[in-house]
Structure 1
Amino acid sequence: MIYTVTFNPAIDYVLEVEDFNLGNVNRSKDSYKYPGGKGINISRVLNILETDNQALGFIGGFTGEYINNYLRELGIQTDFISVEGDTRINVKLKSGKETEINAPGPNISERDLEALFNQIDQLKSKDFLVLAGNVQKTLPRDIYSRIQARCMDKDIKVVVDTTGEALISTIKNKPFLIKPNHHELSQIFDVEIEDREQAIIYSKKLLELGAQNIIVSMGGEGAVLVSQEGIYYGEAPKGIVRNSVGAGDSLIAGFLAKYSQSKDTIESFRWGIAAGSATAFSMDLCSKEEVENLVKSINIKKIN
């Protein structure tokens, strides 16, 4: 089973405004809302790709109930922990350029954390655990690393998708997969990474530090996979980018959907790129048909 953890979910409220005018009344031509948060996005795409998974994390108030009900109606298993306060609402304003306003979210208490730890302790050998997204500032920066430590003796494959110190602290625990984009990789090493060759150099350093598989996404420039099996480059398919939200999450979901069935790292990389691209070409997350159509066009090259 694949489990996703989202510490700080959100309702993403999308407003499309034809010509946004700051300081005046603006009327949207369209609006919609859906559950957000990296782990939740991964659960949704796994579900789209007909891969069983369970969404874990923290929700609160009427907004939290909306997320829980939405996911269950899609057929996704959930076991969220209820906390005090309301799950946040993030506003995505689409008017030519895309503008985001992200709220902070509720606090997580020690009691809430213990409840999550108890859930993690029930996972079994061969399960996958996805730790995705940033955590509230009131929590320890090494919280993902602490969760990893509870999994290390059980052969649980832990996937980490976060940034900065929170990501760095997990490397020593040998995560199965991490997925920084090239900007996030630059931040880790305090350098400017501008091309594929540089991305490979610094990904190899993460491999040496303990990460088992590193996928660096570079938008329209494709992605690189640095793993114990070798170094591979995947070209991004051609298409019109309509949505930047959830593409990286979809890449992880596509990878895991295929890997959980085949254990083939390279083919899983191909499916990851297809899912990430399909979401980028959509207004929301990808569809199964779109992913399957794009997979045929993804060219993977072995570099080393």
Structure 2
Amino acid sequence: MTTQMLKKASQPIGTLSLNPAVDMTYEIPNLLKDQKVHATATRFDPGGNGINVGRALKRLETVAQNHCMIAGEIGLFLKRLLAKELDDVHYEEVVGETRINGTFIEQSPPAQYEISGIGPEIPPLQLNTLLERFIDHSVKGFGVLTGSLQQNLPLTLYADLARRIAEGGGRAVVDTHGEALRHAIDAQPFLIKPNRYEFETLLGRPLEHIEMVATEARALQRRGIEYICVSLGAEGALLTGPDNTCYAVAPTVPIRSSVGAGDSMAAALVAAFARGATPLEALRLGVACATGTVTQPGTELFFPTDIDLYFDSIVIRQLDI
């Protein structure tokens, strides 16, 4: 099924990375206060949500045009890393330094700590150049708006871009959090993909059961969003659309690192919908890709072989909500 799906022609897809990063991952035995700890493994990966979506799309044999802001020596390092990962990247360079994100994976007790760096400010000229190029491509198909925004950018930016994509005939996909997500919802994008914590934060209350998540997703979907996917970590994911709500149970696998799992799911959903797949096929592909990603170290993503390994074992049930 996955092979047949991914052989179909895809609509054009654009990704936007306003605040990319070099991801640095350390695996350590345990953290000790005020003591030096020696890593058992270290790796550097190109990072940032938009970058990860682009990387995942390529592994899904899906052509995407990627639009990325870089700065300084770290930006040049990121550019070299991306040369191995992405084929079609359009860069704008600004003054400052591309951020470095840190992930510390503790082995005993098992824990993961993530630190997000601060990216450079983006001047209006470079911002507009990058955004116009992104919009011109995304109105032909899908535009993926994901990740954090620099401090000098308005929290309404993704909402504004989602409206422009829709007005041009395209479909906006938004995967962000906080006020940026709240504003984006008002723009009625085609798809949003918060994780459970982001969804609970948006609503201002905990959602203890899958049925509670489904009920709130349905209420939000009726505000004009075509699809809402809530990723649930090891529990899987839920997809609410015009016709039904489906819940996919994730396979049980050893977790190495969860970084990039949500981006892998977002990419899979876009890759599926851009090929005219059904919501069930899109959800199954999303959970398969996310499952493959959590078995990898650092911010390494799934491999195509992971999809075949997990796709058919994912159980999906329809919720009467």
Would the TM-score normalized by the shorter structure come out above 0.5? yes
Q: Which residue of 2 aligns with 1:173?
A: 187
DSSP-derived class of the 1:25 partner: coil
**Closer/same/farther in 2, CA of residues 125 and 137 from structure 1, 3 Å limit:** closer
Structure 1 residue corresponding to 2:235, chosen from 221, 236, 255: 221
- Structure 2 residue 72 is the aligned partner of structure 1 residue 61: yes
SS of equivalent to 1:188:
helix
Q: Distance in 1 between matches of 2:246 and 2:31?
A: 43
- Report if aligned partners of 2:55, 2:86 keep a CA contact under 8 Å in 1: no
TM-fit CA distance, 1:263: 3.3
Pairing 1:136–2:147 present:
no
The Cα offsets for residues 229-263 of structure 1, whole Å up to 9 and x where unpaired, read as 21111111111111110111111112222222233
Code of the aligned partner of 1:107? E
Q: State how 1:50-199 maps to structure 2 within 5 Å.
A: 50-96=61-107, 97-123=111-137, 125-199=139-213
The equivalent residue for 1:289 is 305
TM-score (norm 2): 0.90
Task: Write the distance in 2 (CA, Å) between the matches of 1:188 and 1:157.
Answer: 22
1:196-228 CA distance string (max 9 Å, x none): 111011111211222110011111222111111
For these two proteins, the number of residue pairs brought into alignment is 304
The answer to whether the Cα contact below 8 Å between 2:237 and 2:247 also exists between their aligned partners in 1 is: yes
| Distance in 2 of aligned mates of 1:19 and 1:291 | 32
Cα 1:295/1:192, change in 2 over 3 Å: same
Match of 2:31 among 1, 20, 44: 20
Structure 1 runs of 4+ with >4 Å offset: none
Provide the rounded CA distance (Å) in 2 between the counterparts of 1:225 and 1:216: 7
Q: What TM-score results when the alignment is normalised by the length of structure 1? A: 0.95
Hey, what's the Cα distance between the residues in 1 that align with 2:15 and 2:127?
Answer: 15
1:57 positional shift? 2.6
Deviation of 1:21 (Å):
2.6
CA distance in 2, matches of 1:164, 1:102: 16
- The secondary structure found in structure 2 opposite 1:224 is strand
- Of the three residues 257, 263, 282, the one matched with 1:249 is 263
Aligned to 1:10: 21
Deviation at 1:39, TM superposition (A): 0.8
| Cα deviation code 1:128-175 (max 9, x no counterpart) | 110101111221110101112222222211100001110111122221
**Unaligned residue ranges in structure 1 (runs of 5+):** none
Percent identity for Structure 1 against Structure 2: 32
1:231 lines up with 2:240 in the alignment: no
RMSD between aligned residues: 1.5
User: Alpha carbons of 1:101 and 1:303: their partners in 2 closer, same or farther (altered >3 Å)?
Assistant: closer
The answer as to whether partners of 1:68 and 1:78 remain within 8 angstroms in 2 is no
Residues 124-133 or 195-204, more deviating? 124-133
2:317 is matched with which residue: 289, 298, 301?
301
Structure 2: gaps of 5 or more residues? 1-11
CA distance in structure 2 between the aligned counterparts of 1:199 and 1:295, rounded to whole angstroms: 24
Q: CA 1:3–1:121 in structure 2 vs 1: closer, same or farther (change >3 Å)?
A: closer
Residues 182 and 194, structure 1, Cα contact 8 Å, conserved in 2: no
The alignment status of 1:274 with 2:288, answered yes or no, reads yes
Q: Larger RCO: Structure 1 or Structure 2 (Cα < 8 Å, ≥ 6 residues apart)?
A: 2
